[in-house]
Each structure stands twice: as structure tokens, then as C-alpha cells.
Amino acid sequence: MPPLWDLPAPEAGHAARPNAAGQDAAGLKALVSALGEPAWRGGQVFEGLYRQRWTRWEQFSSLSKALRTRLEAEVDLAWPAIVQSQASEDGSTKHAFELTDGKQVEGVWMPYDDRVTLCLSSQVGCAMGCTFCATGQMGIVRNLTAAEIVGQVVAMLNHHGHPEGRPVNLVFMGMGEPLHNLDHLMAAFAILTDPKGLAIPPRRITVSTSGLVSGIERLGAFPRRPRLALSLNATTDAHRSAIMPVNRVWNLEALAAALAAFPLQSGERVTLEYVLLKGVTDSLEDGRRLAAFARRFPAKVNLIPFNPHEGSGFEPPDESRVGALCRLLSEVGLPVSVRRSRGQDVAGACGQLVREGQARKPKDSGLKTGD
């Protein structure tokens, strides 16, 4: 039996009617042409969907009333719907989105002084099975469509309002392994970055992979693509394989080789996300191995003190150790920052996104958490 991530993830079922949401300009032109309208009206629909972020056909004031009535009768405009929102004391908000088949995923709105970052999901559940991650314990349910990926952004911007004067960053660090859903991810990326639509610059979109080397290689072949982050989290194959099963197929050496071959633009760096688990991944020796790994290609390091959640079996590191590791990495010339996960009080932090009723019980990781 091949690993789950070697198999294509299940896809959403087909709806009976076409859905305009999530379609690119060519798709929308074809859609309006099929209704007997000139193709250029597809461009008006595109701007209404992605620039105006209209969610009902009656809002499309740029179209004739007759066409709006026709679209209402024959074409869906189905975005994911926010069905629950939980505000955190730190200003972030975790949203649950319901999809057209009743499945749910989560995203997080995180405002900062100089930007707003939206954490997005790419799949319902995840095939990668990382032991520290609540989503990983669900298993894979299915891929999200381009509409379901773009729709999380549309829904959060409509809910909170577009942040005036502050850029929007998107990070695929919610539910799912984005490189396991690369086709839909890149279709969504094209819409998200289109200057006539949401117009988010490619450099403000980051996908975080668990180390799916086949996906890293595919992503590198796209001339326009998001930035890459790697969820590294361990510095020896024994430790990484114990918490991230993908490492049993592509170990640290294979990962470093793939990242060294990844075609970066001038000034671009791969972000290494490193979750610090007390007594497991936070030793000074880990820090030295992390530095050696990171110096094999242009990299920056984000140290993320673990967010404890029920059943994880892991603890957060001591603050003094976080500081010592930070110093160790910056002394060898690596850009390093400590990232406090947002939304911890509403289980919106990294590795905590999971929908009740869709989750399996956490497995025993087999790791000791203190030595």
C-alpha cells in the first residue's frame, strides 16, 4: 500500500449546475458564451466576483437585468459560507467555513499593525499524519476546489472588510498539505493574484509543505508561483520520521537537495518553520543541526514555541531555551524570528485546526516528551 500522499486525494463531487465562483477568466467567458452572451461579459463577471467580491447575482450591477435573471436561473454562485467565528483575545479570529457538501474547514484572520495575514486550508483533513497536528489525525477527506480556496479569502475579506492601507498576506498553513492539492492550489493562485481581481502579489502568498518532495519539484517548475515554506520541526531523521511520516520517504538529505535545487528568485528565501517541542526538538544540538541544514540554500528560520492542545502529549519549550536557540542561529548569520502562534485561546493556532465530528482520536506518537 503506497503512502496516502502518493495517491491523488479524493475530489469534491460534481454539482448539477455550473458554479461561477472559482472560475478563471477563460472559464467565465465560456460560461457566458454558452448563455448566448458576448464573451467579454465574462470579464465583467470576473471583476464582480473577485474585485467587488459580490456573492449574489443581484449585486452584479454591471450586467443587464436580463442577464442577471438568466444567471440566477442557470448558474450557481456558491462560495464557502462562514458558519462559526471565534475571536481570540490577541485580535485574531478563527472562522469555520461550510462547503457545499456540508464538510467544514477552518481559516484564521490575523491582523497586525502593518499587514493582515489570512491562514487558509487547502484540504479537508490531511494525508500526512504529522503526530503533533490535530488536522493530521483526521486523515484525508478530500481536496478543496479552487472555489473553496479562493472563497475563504473572499469570505474573510467580506466579513472583516478589506484592510485599508495594510497589505493582505496569505499563508497556506491551515488544514491540509497544499502541495498534495497542487492543481487546485495553482488555479486558485492565478485568481488570487490576477490584477483585475483580488490582486494579491505572488510574493505575499506562502505555501507551507511538510516535505512532499515530489510537490516541491512540481511547484518549482511554475514560472509564477507562491513562496515556499517548509515545516521542518526536527533535525535528525529518527526524530523527524517519528513525528512526520513523510520523512520516511524523503529524509532530510533528500529534502535539502530538493530545496537547494528549487529555483529561487533574487533575494527570495525558503522559510523554515521549526516547532519547538520541549525535550524533543529544542536541544542546542538541534539548533546546530538546524543551522547546518539551513545554510545549504537561501533560508530564513521561524522558531515556533509549541501550542499545547489536548491529547498532543507534547509541552512548550522553556523561554530561556527559545532565546538560546535564537541567538545560536543568528550568530551563524541566519535570519531568524520567533513566531508566537495567534489564536491559541480559540484553537486557531498552527496544528490545532480540526472540525469537531470530522476528527479521529489522536494517536500515541510513541515519542518521549521529556528527557
Residues at the contact surface with ligand SF4, assessed by CB under 6 A: 126, 128-130, 133, 135-136, 175-177, 210, 231, 351
5 vs 60, beta carbon nearer ligand SF4: 5
Q: What is the maximal distance between C-alpha atoms in the chain?
A: 71
Between the alpha carbon of residue 30 and those of residues 11, 67, 221, the distances in Å are 23, 15, 28
Please state the closest distance from residue 64 (CB atom) to ligand SF4, in A. 45
The 3-class secondary structure across 9-72, one letter per residue, is CCCCCCCCCCECCCCCHHHHHHHHHHCCCCCCHHHHHHHHHHCCCCCCHHHCCCCCHHHHHHHH
Q: DSSP alpha helices (H): ranges in the chain?
A: 25-34, 41-50, 65-74, 146-160, 182-193, 213-220, 237-243, 252-261, 284-294, 319-331
178 vs 287, beta carbon nearer ligand SF4: 178
Please state the closest distance from residue 187 (CB atom) to ligand SF4, in A. 20
DSSP 233: -
Placement of cell 465574462 in the chain: 42
Region of 357 on the Ramachandran plot (φ > 0 left; ψ -120 to 50 alpha; else beta): left
Q: Which of 106, 148, 177, 273 is catalytic?
A: 106
Active site residue 106: yes
Please state the closest distance from residue 132 (CB atom) to ligand SF4, in A. 7
Please state the closest distance from residue 272 (CB atom) to ligand SF4, in A. 14
Nearest residue to 300 (alpha-carbon basis) of 333, 255, 341, 258: 333
- Dihedral sign, CA of 21, 25, 27, 31? positive
Q: Angle at CA 165, nearest 5°, toward 162 and 168?
A: 55
Q: Which of 119, 126, 130, 350 is catalytic?
A: 350
Q: Angle at CA 368, nearest 5°, toward 364 and 370?
A: 140
Q: How many residues does the chain have?
A: 371
Please state the closest distance from residue 277 (CB atom) to ligand SF4, in A. 13
Please state the closest distance from residue 177 (CB atom) to ligand SF4, in A. 4
DSSP 76: B
175 vs 334, beta carbon nearer ligand SF4: 175
130 vs 270, beta carbon nearer ligand SF4: 130
Please state the closest distance from residue 274 (CB atom) to ligand SF4, in A. 13
110 vs 138, beta carbon nearer ligand SF4: 138
* Closest residue to ligand SF4: CB criterion: 136
Active site residue 350: yes
63 vs 149, beta carbon nearer ligand SF4: 149
Residue 324, helix vs strand vs coil? helix
290 vs 350, beta carbon nearer ligand SF4: 350
Q: Angle at CA 117, nearest 5°, toward 324 and 330?
A: 20
Cell numbers representing residue 260 in the block: 537547494
Provide the annotated active-site residues: 106, 350
